[in-house]
Amino acid sequence: MHSFPSLAFALFTVSSSALPLLSNLAFYTLPRRSPAYGGVSRVVNTASSRWYSADTYSGASWGGTYQYQCFGGDISKYPTLHQWLSFDNLLQINRPALALTNTEDQIGYIRDGIIAVAEESIVDPRVILVVMMQESTGRANSPCTGGHNCGLMQANRGSTSFDSSQPRQSIKQMIAEGIQGTTEGPGYVQYLNNDASYSYTNNRWPNNPFAAARCYNSGRIDPSGNLDIASYGSMRSYVNDVANRLLGWTGHDTGSAQAQCGLS
């Protein structure tokens, strides 16, 4: 994730015990537990439900190999939910990369943290996993970049790093900060919801996980609508990479893979 200008926003608080069912969330105000975006934030529009499944076994079949594809920045050409591999498949495919920098216990905490945050935020666990891999390659003690983008999800200002004295709790917190926001700025959920406080992001496709990914990396979408166009020093290939990761790409041949799509 990269830094971008912050804007003022209004705050609303509701009781977490009053959370409605997903079918009633279309105009629901985000619950808060802190003075800003940190706390429980969740998808609020039912249109996002077509991009969500809590079933970690559900997904397309894994063929054993994967060839990087070019989606051209066109929102209509990115893979649909039924084309994504299952969460369990994706976790297994990425396990060798996770094992390079994490203990088996830490990998277990990462899995548990993703599942818990997915349930809290109504963001598909596969999206959380691949965005995490894109941001930090799943390294629990990943250093901060730019002085403030920290942790597994390289989240917004105010994000935290790994705490070896509380590994399970800190791993979940790092994941939650990336998806649900920090006390100083938005996370993936706020972009998915097209939060009015961040209307400058120019997200004409609220609820779409790939549009939200562009915002998460760049802070905005180019007025042309081309998701391959980056800003604020972000990655041109970011959304294309996320899409490919959902289909089984693990980041191998990075550079040459993106070069074939003109994204290196």
Residue 30 DSSP code: P
Q: For residue range 193-224, what is the model confidence (pLDDT) as tens digits?
A: 887 676 567 788 989 999 999 999 998 899 99
CB count within 10 Å of CB 108 equals 14
* pTM of the predicted structure, to 2 decimals: 0.84
In the chain, what are the domain boundaries?
16-47+68-259
| Per-residue pLDDT tens over the stretch 13-70 | 323 333 333 333 332 333 333 334 555 588 887 777 789 999 999 999 898 889 999 9
**Per-residue model confidence (pLDDT) at position 30:** 32
175, 200, 233 from 29: Cα distances, Å: 22, 20, 32
Residues ≥6 apart with Cβ < 8 Å to 61: none
pLDDT in tens, 160-194: 889 999 999 999 999 999 999 888 888 999 898 88
Return the pLDDT at 12.
27
Residue 159 Cα distances to 42, 175, 185, 217, angstroms: 18, 10, 9, 15
What is the CATH number that goes with domain 16-47+68-259?
Answer: 1.10.530
